[in-house]
Amino acid sequence: MALHIIDHPLVQHKLSIMRDKATSTMKFRELLQEIAMLMGYEITRDFPLTYEDIETPLMPMRAPKIAGKKVVIVPILRAGLGMVEGLTRLMPSARIGHIGLYRDEETCNPVFYYYKMPAGKERLVLLTDPMLATGGSACDAIARLKADGYAHIRLVCLVASPQGVAKVQELHPDVDIYLASLDEGLNEKNYILPGLGDAGDRIFGTK
């Protein structure tokens, strides 16, 4: 499936401010939600429309409305939480699930600790995590969602490495990936370069 890189100037400008190590926690959080909302505009571009009869103050018309696309936004804890508010502003009736995973500091392998989803396996899942580094966390989260019966999943990240994208495309070719930037690669500790550092720490002010 497709890799979508959202290169809108507003997204790119805000991302550059986020990358700057001098940017405060407060500003970082604010920008992440703003970018998530802007990305949401592109992520929902193919949502089908239906037509309903309404009356404007001047005349009746057949008016386009979203055709009941049911969405569940699923942040990968912790950092994925930073994108939820931006997306729910666009889709206020979306449900929210949670997947808890952290990367083991030594091995960089994902460690699972929490899974909670609302009812409705037919829903389109928007799986959020700002960072797609080795791809281990995203692939585990997608595998868990699929094992639970979800068939329609889109992965929404801010910054990715080529290795992370390749891993998701290899293990989950049916999942569309949405990014604000495809970065250069990973360092020896599997941090994205140039990246923006540890997203969770920058969102929550831990460290």
Site of interaction with ligand PRP (CB under 6 A): 76-79, 101-103, 108, 110, 129, 131-138, 164, 190, 198-200
The contact pattern for ligand URA, residues 103-132, with x = CB under 6 A and - = no contact, is ----------------------------x-
By CB under 6 A, tell whether 195 contacts ligand URA.
yes
Secondary structure (3-state) at 203:
helix
Active-site residue set: 103, 107, 198, 201
Contact criterion met (CB below 8 Å) for 86 and 35: yes
115 binds, among ligand URA, ligand PRP, none (CB under 5 to 8 A by kind): none
Which CB sits closer to ligand URA, 191 or 204? Answer: 191
Secondary structure (3-state) at 101:
strand
Position among 133, 138, 177, 203 found at the interface with ligand URA (CB under 6 A):
133
Query: For residue 107, what are the contacts with CB-CB under 8 A and spacing of at least 6?
Result: none
Helices (H), 61-125: 84-90
Q: How many CB atoms lie within 10 A of CB 56?
A: 8
Cα–Cα distance for residue pair 6/10, rounded to 1 Å: 10
By CB under 6 A, tell whether 198 contacts ligand URA.
yes
**For ligand URA, which stretch binds (CB under 6 A), given 31-39, 53-61, 114-122, 196-204?**
196-204
- Smallest distance, ligand PRP to C-beta of residue 49, A: 34
Contact criterion met (CB below 8 Å) for 96 and 128: no
192 binds, among ligand URA, ligand PRP, none (CB under 5 to 8 A by kind): ligand URA
Contact criterion met (CB below 8 Å) for 65 and 49: yes
191 binds, among ligand PRP, ligand URA, none (CB under 5 to 8 A by kind): ligand URA
Query: For residue 206, what are the contacts with CB-CB under 8 A and spacing of at least 6?
Result: 200
Secondary structure (3-state) at 117:
coil
Applying CB under 6 A, the residues found at the interface with ligand URA are: 79, 131, 133, 191-192, 195, 198-200
